[in-house]
Amino acid sequence: MQRSRSRLAGMFLASLLALAGALVAPTAGVCEQALKAKVGVLRLSSSAPVFIAQDKGYFRDAGLDIELKFFDAAQPIAVATTSGDVDFGITAFTAGLYNLAGKGTLKVIGGMSREKAGYPLIGYFASNNAYAAGLMSPRDLAGKRVAVTQTGSSFHYSLGLLADKYGFKLSDVKIVPLQSLSNAAAALKGETVDAALLPVSTARKLMDDGGAKLLGWVGDETPWQLGAVFASTRTLAEKPLVTRLLAALARADREYHDVILAAVSDGKAPLNEKTRPLLEIIAKYTNLPVEQVIGNCAYIDPDGKLDVGNVANQIAWLQQQGFVDKGVTADAIIAKEYVKPD
Kindly report, residue by residue over 104-163, the tens digit of the pLDDT. 999 999 999 999 999 999 999 999 999 999 999 999 999 999 999 999 999 999 999 999
Whether the predicted pLDDT of 13 surpasses 80:
no
Q: Give Cα separations from 6 to 1, 2, 13, 15, 20 (angstroms).
A: 9, 6, 10, 14, 21
Is residue 313 classed exposed, middle or buried when 0-12, 13-18 and 19+ CB atoms within 10 A define those classes? middle
Query: How is 104-135 classified by DSSP, letter by letter?
Result: TSEEEEEE-EEEBTTB--EEEEE-HHHHHTT-
Per-residue model confidence (pLDDT) at position 213: 97
Which value, to the nearest 10 degrees, does the dihedral of the CA atoms of residues 331, 334, 336, 338 take?
Answer: -170
CA neighbor of 122 nearest in space, from 43, 220, 218:
218
Sheet holding 64-71, edge to edge: 64-71, 35-42, 88-92, 227-232, 106-111
**Are 323 and 152 contacting, i.e. CB atoms less than 8 angstroms apart?**
yes
Pairwise CA distance, residues 165 & 163, whole Å: 5
Query: What integer pLDDT is reported at residue 19 of this predicted model?
Result: 37
Q: What does the pLDDT average to over 206-222?
A: 96
CA 132 – CA 279 distance, rounded (Å): 35
Q: Which helix (H) or strand (E) holds 45?
A: none
Instruction: Please give the mean pLDDT across all residues of the chain.
Output: 91
The CB density around residue 259, as the number of other CB atoms within 10 Å, is 17
The pairing of strands 113-115 and 299-300 is: antiparallel
What is the C-alpha to C-alpha distance for residues 15 and 9, in angstroms, rounded to an integer?
A: 10
Closest by CA to 231, choosing from 110, 70, 332, is 110
Asked whether residue 187 carries a pLDDT value surpassing 90, the answer given is yes
Instruction: Work out the pLDDT band at 32, boundaries 50, 70, 90.
Output: low
Q: Of 4-8, 33-37, 233-237, where does mean pLDDT reach its minimum?
A: 4-8
| Residue 132, C-beta contacts closer than 8 angstroms, at least 6 positions apart | none
CB 72 within 8 A of CB 112: no
Q: Cα-flanking dihedrals φ and ψ of residue 103, to 5°?
A: -85, 0
pTM score, two decimals?
A: 0.84
Does the structure show a pLDDT above 70 at 199? yes
- Is pLDDT at 14 greater than 80 in this prediction? no
Q: In whole angstroms, give the CA distance from residue 42 to residue 70.
A: 5
Secondary structure of residue 24 in the 3-state scheme: helix
Say how many C-beta atoms besides its own lie within 10 A of residue 263's C-beta: 16
pLDDT value at residue 92: 95
* Nearest residue to 220 (alpha-carbon basis) of 279, 161, 148: 161
| Start-to-end CA span in the chain (Å) | 80
CB count, 10 Å around CB of 271? 15
| Confidence at residue 2, expressed as pLDDT on a 0 to 100 scale | 42
% of the chain with per-residue pLDDT over 70 = 91
Alpha helices in the chain (DSSP H): 2-33, 48-55, 58-61, 75-83, 95-102, 128-132, 154-166, 181-189, 200-208, 218-221, 233-236, 239-259, 276-286, 290-293, 308-320, 330-333
